[in-house]
Amino acid sequence: MLNNGAYDERFKELMQEAYQQDASEQGTADRYLLPGADRRMIANIFQSEPVQVSPEPKKIRLWPKIAVAASIAAVMGIGTLIYVNRHNKHNIETLAVNDVAPGKVGATLTLANGKKILLTDAVNGQLAREAGVKISKSKNGQLLYQVTGDGGEDKINTLTTANGETYQVRLPDGSQAWLNAASSLTYSASLIKNGNRSVKLTGEGYFEIAKDKLHPFVVETATQKVEVLGTHFNVNAYTDEAAVATSLLEGSVKVSSSSGAHMIKPGQQALNDGAGIKVVKTDVDKVVDWKDGEFNLDEVDFRTAMRKIARWYDIEVVYDKSVPENIEAWGWISRSSKLSSVLKLIENSGLVRFRIEGKKVYVFK
């Protein structure tokens, strides 16, 4: 590959050093940097015979540009790569010192009489009764409602998650709801109100609705209503997002606001910015990643991704004016990872850096 013999030997030494260093620090040398094609090229430098690399599963690549950069570095010289690797090591060590633990399963249930129950601390079993409705906590930590008699329509309950919390509830009709961080779900203990199964949502929730043709299920936010009979869908109604996003996985839903109503199909998303509703195609895997315990950030706006991260780790993100507006995030990582692991992956792009100070994360170029 290289014509100068002396330089060729030094190139190999530097490449080996960088590869071994990255492998020892990260667990696997190609976890962040090099796809299979680049590793085949490197293998040819070290050996006279090519090495066959078996197809690899989809891995974390939070910013694919790093793979391109690594390929260029391998061709043009490894010195820059070694410098970046050592520079990133210093940043990683700094982040780890001020690390933040991930969020957890937890929520607060407020009963009709104002009593608050911290579900994280509550023991399993019956928690309360609300006019013919039994409320309990299951062995796996899920909140359960069971109708045991008439009544409960005027008994309003609210399930609330703080930043860094998520929770699941089985409603009286058998429907399942998941709440993301910094969200709330308000409903009557019997769920039925004015002939509908009705809930009010702030923040973000995912719903799997039990079929009941006689009682439509209605999710109300500050700016719209979503009406279904039986389906799977997600509603993102965070006030710091540009629009309320209703995304459909199964069935069909009607999204209505003061500007009109729209029916959406699986794989579609209704975006309500207050002025009107626009229906677009969406990748539902990226929409419900939080319910599955992941951050799926493929082609997600960087600041949108950081808002998701901020809610889960209960942090404030502060941007330096040097950070570009048009950055996109890539890849996925588990929400059970510590904050430093998430930021470390992003830093490998070379596009931004982070500094953690208490509950604040500073972003700069």
CATH number for the domain harbouring residue 302? 3.55.50.30
Pick from 74, 97, 120: which residue ends a domain?
A: 97
Q: Enumerate residues 6+ apart whose C-beta is below 8 A from 121.
A: none
* Identity at 133, one-letter amino acid code: V
Place of tokens 């690549």: 61
Residues 85 and 114 in one domain: no
pLDDT at 360 over 80: yes
What are the CB-based long-range contacts (under 8 Å, 24+) for 273-276?
Answer: 273/242, 273/243, 273/244, 274/223, 274/243
What is the pLDDT averaged over residues 294-322? Answer: 94
Per-residue pLDDT at 329: 80
pLDDT at 24 over 90: no
pLDDT digits (tens, 9 = 90+) for 164-205: 999 999 999 999 999 999 999 999 999 988 889 999 999 999
Residues 123 and 75 in one domain: no
Integer CA distances (angstroms), 359 to 63, 164, 240, in order: 25, 12, 19
Per-residue pLDDT at 10: 54
How many C-alpha atoms does 30 have within 13 Å on its Cβ side? Answer: 16
Per-residue pLDDT at 19: 44
Pick from 54, 80, 97: which residue ends a domain?
A: 97
Residues 114 and 255 in one domain: yes
Query: Sorting pLDDT into bands at 50, 70 and 90, what band is 148?
Result: confident
User: Which residue did the predictor score with more confidence, 349 or 5?
Assistant: 349
Per-residue pLDDT at 38: 41
* Radius of gyration in angstroms for the set of CA atoms belonging to the chain, rounded to a whole number: 25
pLDDT at 267 over 90: yes
Question: Whole-angstrom Cα distance, residue 75 to residue 102?
Answer: 39
Pick from 58, 79, 97: which residue ends a domain?
A: 97
pLDDT at 76 over 50: no
pTM: 0.76
Query: Sorting pLDDT into bands at 50, 70 and 90, what band is 254?
Result: very high
Per-residue pLDDT at 90: 53
Q: Enumerate residues 6+ apart whose C-beta is below 8 A from 80.
A: 73
Integer CA distances (angstroms), 294 to 58, 156, 186, in order: 14, 32, 26
Instruction: Give the strand pairing for 143-147 and 165-170.
Output: parallel
Residues 262 and 142 in one domain: yes
Residues 163 and 266 in one domain: yes
Residues 49 and 125 in one domain: no
What is the pLDDT averaged over residues 328-336? Answer: 86
Query: Sorting pLDDT into bands at 50, 70 and 90, what band is 53?
Result: very low
Taking all residues of the chain, what is their mean pLDDT, rounded to a whole number? Answer: 81
Please, are residues 230 and 214 in contact by the beta-carbon 8 Å criterion?
Answer: no
Instruction: Give the strand pairing for 108-110 and 143-147.
Output: unpaired
Residues 154 and 247 in one domain: yes
Query: Sorting pLDDT into bands at 50, 70 and 90, what band is 44?
Result: very low
pLDDT at 30 over 60: no
Per-residue pLDDT at 217: 96
What is the pLDDT averaged over residues 250-278? Answer: 95
Residues 74 and 43 in one domain: yes
Q: Which domain, by its residues, includes 354?
A: 294-364
Token pair of 134 as six digits: 């039994």
What is the pLDDT averaged over residues 58-86? Answer: 44
Per-residue pLDDT at 100: 94
pLDDT at 241 over 90: yes
CATH number at residue 188: 2.60.120.1440
Lowest mean pLDDT: which of 27-36, 64-73, 346-355?
27-36
Residues 123 and 224 in one domain: yes
Residues 276 and 133 in one domain: yes
Classified as helix, coil or strand, 177 is: strand
Per-residue pLDDT at 93: 54
Instruction: Express as a percent the part of the chain with pLDDT over 90.
Output: 61
Count helices and strands (H / E) in the chain.
Answer: 7, 26
Residues 214 and 323 in one domain: no
Residues 69 and 109 in one domain: no
Q: Enumerate residues 6+ apart whose C-beta is below 8 A from 265.
A: 248, 252
pLDDT at 48 over 50: no
Looking at the structure of the chain, the number of domains it has is 3
Per-residue pLDDT at 20: 47
